[in-house]
Structure 1
Amino acid sequence: MTKADTVKARHVAIIMDGNGRWAKKRHMPRALGHQRGVEAVRKVVRGARDFGLEALTIYAFSTENWRRPEDEISDLMTLMKRFIVSDLDEFAEAGIRLKIIGDYKAFNPDVVALIEDALARTADNTGTTLAVALNYGSHDEIARAASAAAAKGAITPETIAAELDTADMPPLDLLIRTSGEERLSNFLLWQAAYAELYFTDVLWPDFTADHLKEAMDAFATRERRYGGR
């Protein structure tokens, strides 16, 4: 592939892994790892905007995360609320549109209220879409989409795709996972069918906009055949 043939990623997704290990390596509380992880989110969202990404999807809280200890879930909810309150003005001014995938209404009413206010305030923005996966699992998403498609008529790949949480977003180009793990963990399984995968040993709290750019540059060198030759 020549430089002229390179393709720029439009939609990048990230499995933000490694907060706990980051804290453990430093003999710090796990909650501090999550706090530093939120700071990494800020940097990467700004980078996504600066790099001209149309969409960035981040895996913030999975359907399986409810199995974690109650105090850790409480810490995560507190961080989520602080993040929305502290960063919403910046996102709104920067033209970032917030989107939630998954069933966020399962959270406490105060969290739901903050999320819905943020969605309303950024709904008309035309810059980068920041999709946050909350109480999200791909198996659940596909089941919901198939059920919705069946209620309307024929079940086909196209009718299911039209009912996915990401139906109004560009196709997924690149899926990144941090911390050295190499699995998808029930994240965007349908959308990742032809996405490029990028794994890095960097723990999420250490991940920066420069790391995002490295991944996007690597994507631009790959030849995408979509099953062809």
Structure 2
Amino acid sequence: MESVVYPNHLGIIMDGNGRWAKKRGINRSLGHKAGADNLIKLLNYIYNNTSIKVVSLYAFSTENFKRDKNEVDYLMKLFVTLFNSKLESIKKNNVKVVFSGRRENLPKSVLEAMDKTTDDTKNNTRGILNICLNYGGDYEIVDMAKKIAKQVLDGTLNIEDITKEVVSKNLYQDLPPLDFVIRTSGEKRISNFMIYQSSYAEYDFPDTYFPDFDSKCLEESLDNYRKRDRRFGNAK
């Protein structure tokens, strides 16, 4: 029997919470809550029913701070709840949780919840959940360049020794390249999501808003991934 092919590293751009709420005539905050509730169900499905090892989530971009203050404040409180309680089932699935992004501008309560989650799951081995929070792919490259430049100035790294592996180790997280990225809601852009790690990633843009993107929708996207002929620049 032929084994089912899964991406090793799956990225999800969780888009459409606000439009999901607007369509129902309810507050945007309820859309974000519905998205968070759906996320837990989706992650439990992934880690219990697939062989996907790494999942990267685009939770909050650096540009999202430009949104209405009430919405941003609500999202920060939602993150605290998500990390402190809603992720418990993910932790029990032996998944290591890490974070990518800049810590500056994040409230103390969010930072404390992030640090506790990281510490609680640091020895887990089933897989990795990488949450991109206050994240921008361009900022990640800038911060990586600064880290490498400091090592060169400190004399701990020679310019000639800078390789792709060195670059990867100086990103927010040293993770394998993205294989497949799903952006929900039908928008066809990547919005600065893990641009260094996605050089050969495949993409899928389902029309479903994230709160409605369930395991059936995920499997449909994964079926699309399996139909792709990944050439990595080679002619076939």
Q: Which TM-score bucket, shorter chain as reference?
A: over 0.9
Are 1:175 and 2:173 matched, yes or no?
no
Correspondent of 2:158 among 145, 153, 157: 153
- In the TM superposition, residue 158 of structure 1 has moved relative to its aligned partner by 3.8
CA contact (8 A) 2:44 2:89 kept: no
| 1:25-104 correspondence to structure 2 within 5 Å | 25-50=23-48, 51-104=50-103
User: What CA distance in whole angstroms lies between the structure 2 residues aligned with 1:6 and 1:78?
Assistant: 39
CA offset digits 1:26-75 (Å, max 9, x no partner): 11101111110101111111122021210111000111011011100011
Name the aligned partner's letter for residue 16 of structure 1: M
Deviations 1:148-180 (A, max 9, x none): 22333325444322211231x222100110101
Q: For structure 1, which runs of at least 5 residues remain unmatched after alignment?
A: none
2:189 aligned partner, one-letter code: R
Answer yes or no: is the 8 Å Cα contact 2:43–2:90 preserved in 1. Answer: no
Question: SS where residue 233 of structure 2 aligns?
Answer: coil
Deviation at residue 5 of structure 1 after TM alignment: 9.6
Match of 2:173 in 1: 166
What is the distance in 1 between the residues matched to 2:33 and 2:223?
Answer: 28
Alpha-carbon deviations, 1:95-135, whole Å to 9, x = none?
01111001235311122111111110000000121110000
2-side partners of 1:166 and 1:195: how far apart? 17
Alpha carbons of 1:193 and 1:5: their partners in 2 closer, same or farther (altered >3 Å)?
Answer: farther
CA contact (8 A) 1:98 1:131 kept: yes
Percent of pairs with identical residues: 37
2:71 maps to amino acid? E
- Report which stretch shifted further, 126-135 or 213-222: 213-222
Q: CA RMSD for the aligned pairs?
A: 1.8
Greater length-normalized contact order (CA 8 Å, ≥ 6 residues apart): 1
Partner of 2:199: 193
Which whole-Å CA distance do the structure 2 matches of 1:85 and 1:161 have between them? 29
Q: Is the 8 A contact 1:176 1:199 kept in 2?
A: yes
How many residue pairs match? The answer is 226
Q: Is the 8 A contact 1:149 1:163 kept in 2?
A: yes
Between 209-218 and 139-148, the greater mean CA deviation after superposition? 209-218
| Match runs of 1:207-222 below 5 Å | 207-222=213-228
Deviates more, 1:143-152 or 1:15-24: 143-152
Structure 1 counterpart SS, 2:198: helix
Could you give the per-residue CA deviations for residues 182-226 of structure 1, whole angstroms, max 9, x where no partner exists?
001011111111000111100011111222222222212211111
Is the 1:62–1:133 Cα contact (8 Å) retained in structure 2?
A: yes
Q: How many Å separate the matches in 2 of 1:108 and 1:119?
A: 17
- 2:37 and 2:3 map into 1 onto residues whose CA distance is 35
SS at the partner of 1:131? strand
Whether the 8 Å contact between 1:137 and 1:187 is mirrored in structure 2 is: yes
TM-score, normalised on structure 1?
A: 0.92
Q: Which residue of 2 aligns with 1:137?
A: 136
Report if aligned partners of 1:47, 1:212 keep a CA contact under 8 Å in 2. Answer: no
Deviations 1:74-104 (A, max 9, x none): 1101111111222243222210111100123
In the alignment, which residue of structure 2 is the partner of 1:204?
A: 210
Distance in 1, Cα, partners of 2:54 & 2:230: 19
Residue number in structure 2 paired with 1:21: 19
Q: Which residue type is aligned with residue 30 of structure 1? A: R
For residues 222 and 59 of structure 1, the distance between their equivalents in structure 2, rounded to whole angstroms, comes to 23
* Structure 2, unaligned runs of 5 or more: 152-156
TM-score w.r.t. the length of structure 2 is: 0.90
Contact residue 97 and residue 129 of structure 1 kept, 8 A:
yes
Deviates more, 1:144-153 or 1:205-214: 144-153
